[in-house]
Structure 1
Amino acid sequence: MDASDDQPDPRPGTGAVPASVEAAWGLKPRPQKGPKRGLTLDGIVAAAVAVADAEGLEAASMGRVAKELGVSTMALYRYVATKDELVTLMVDGAFGPPEPLPEDAAADWRAGLRHWYQAIGAAMFAHPWAVAHVPSGGPPVTPNQLAALDQALYILRDTPLTEFEKVATALLVSNQVRAEVTIALAMGGNKDMERLMNEYSHFLLRVSAAGRLPHLRTAVEGGAFDEPDTEPPRNPSDYDEFAFGLERVLDGVQALIDARRPG
């Protein structure tokens, strides 16, 4: 085997990263003669996001986006190969670049990750159609995703964690906020959630009768399902109800940091 076989292929669009993502980074030549003056990848993504925000992701078909831009559907394929690639870029464009860190967030890793978590959550609530399409099965590749990751690594820069552990911590926190937002959106989508949760508690009491599911019954009787939050948070200041999950994640990171420090 030639040694060159072990090297990544530098040609655009030949690896795991879609050609449209490479184009978003400026790594792929843009069409020299577009079908309409002023048509750009950024413009296509912005138009698609506007449709999805107004009518949902299903409405943002290639044909609909082309119509919004006043071009043929085939014209879009000069910039984006598939609808899946477009969705990837839409999610990145919708969430946008990370918010600047406040001074205390830059000095205290725990405060910094709280701010980071809240900013991601606020962006997700602003574009709920995008939440289910946040990449979770692979590494981030788009410009804003990697900018957010870079910011998290900056927050963790002075900790004794290894570089692997810093990246893993950032992904852990981002997965936590995605899970919390998904639950909150589902709850907020039903205006009669309090009644439904009460019915669910009664259901659990019924199925846990006669000694079945004893630990679950103890949790129900202890109020685990009482007083549900019926409105999802809409901005960072509303995240107190999610504090338990986030703080336990941060506690785990703190324990690892403490274990890394001598003495």
Structure 2
Amino acid sequence: MKRGRKPSIDAADITRAAIAVADAEGLAAVSMARVAQELGNATMALYRHVKSKDELLALMWDSAMEEPPPLPDGEWRDKLGFWAKAVLTAIRRRPWFLQIPISGPPVGPKNLAWLDSALSALEGTPLGPGEKIGVVMGLSTFVQGEARLSFTLSQGFEENPAQFNHQYGQTLREVVDPREMPSLAAVIEAGVFDLDDVLDVGDIGADFDFGLRLFLEGVAGHIRGRE
């Protein structure tokens, strides 16, 4: 009996299969051979459409973010705040996104759509084109940095929960010399780290909101100066 022909595939099929593997098993599990297995094809068949694993990761980096949601009505600050939280939500759905090495500026359609969305939030402001790009790139860096930090800390909590309890504050008191680090010592003595759960989800959300508000206030100050 003759075997039926393998179904034809393209780069989009390969990317979707790679994302499915990463969602289920993590980014480390993604390889050309593993994706071929997911598709039921020979590994060499994939190379006709995707030249290397690096190219596959670039395709995954773009496709993982999905499409940006429509911005709400309101002023630029409301729109950029909504955009930042939408980016954070998208990354949290697929935290392996943060592990993909970035080798250049965004060129994929999904990433460019997110960039266009953020730039549209600044329409009507007196900022020049270069300033708008600077604002969006700075905000994107802030969001991805916050997402990476919370993801890394969550992993650390799973491995060793004890290091995130109230003992952390006591440990800092033992290792921080007030004569060498007076500012940090003052914060420690104020009890900032004396918590039963240093990695409180509510606190992480509040920290993100605080940092986002500071960033947007800085942009607002810059806009007022331009006006």
* TM-score normalised by length of structure 1: 0.76
Classify 1:230/1:188 alpha carbon distance in 2 versus 1 (closer, same or farther; 3 Å): farther
Q: Tell me which residue corresponds to 1:9.
A: none
Q: 2 CA distance for matches of 1:201 and 1:241? A: 18
Q: 1 CA distance for matches of 2:201 and 2:215? A: 24
* 8 Å contact kept, 1:188–1:232: no
Indicate whether 1:245 and 2:211 are aligned: yes
Classify 1:260/1:78 alpha carbon distance in 2 versus 1 (closer, same or farther; 3 Å): same
Q: Tell me which residue corresponds to 2:164.
A: 196
Indicate whether 1:129 and 2:129 are aligned: no
Q: Tell me which residue corresponds to 1:80.
A: 50
Look up the equivalent residue of 2:88 and give its one-letter code.
Answer: G
Q: 2 CA distance for matches of 1:52 and 1:169? A: 31
Indicate whether 1:142 and 2:142 are aligned: no
Q: 2 CA distance for matches of 1:36 and 1:232? A: 49
Classify 1:48/1:38 alpha carbon distance in 2 versus 1 (closer, same or farther; 3 Å): same
Give the C-alpha shift of residue 77 in structure 1.
1.0
* 8 Å contact kept, 2:84–2:139: yes
Q: Tell me which residue corresponds to 2:187.
A: 219
Classify 1:239/1:207 alpha carbon distance in 2 versus 1 (closer, same or farther; 3 Å): closer
Q: 1 CA distance for matches of 2:161 and 2:126? A: 44
* 8 Å contact kept, 2:168–2:194: no
> Alignment RMSD, CA only?
2.2
Give the C-alpha shift of residue 210 in structure 1.
6.2
* TM-score normalised by length of structure 2: 0.88
Match of 1:256 among 219, 222, 226: 222
More helix by share: 2
Give the C-alpha shift of residue 139 in structure 1.
1.7
Give the C-alpha shift of residue 151 in structure 1.
0.5
Q: Percent identity at matched positions? A: 40
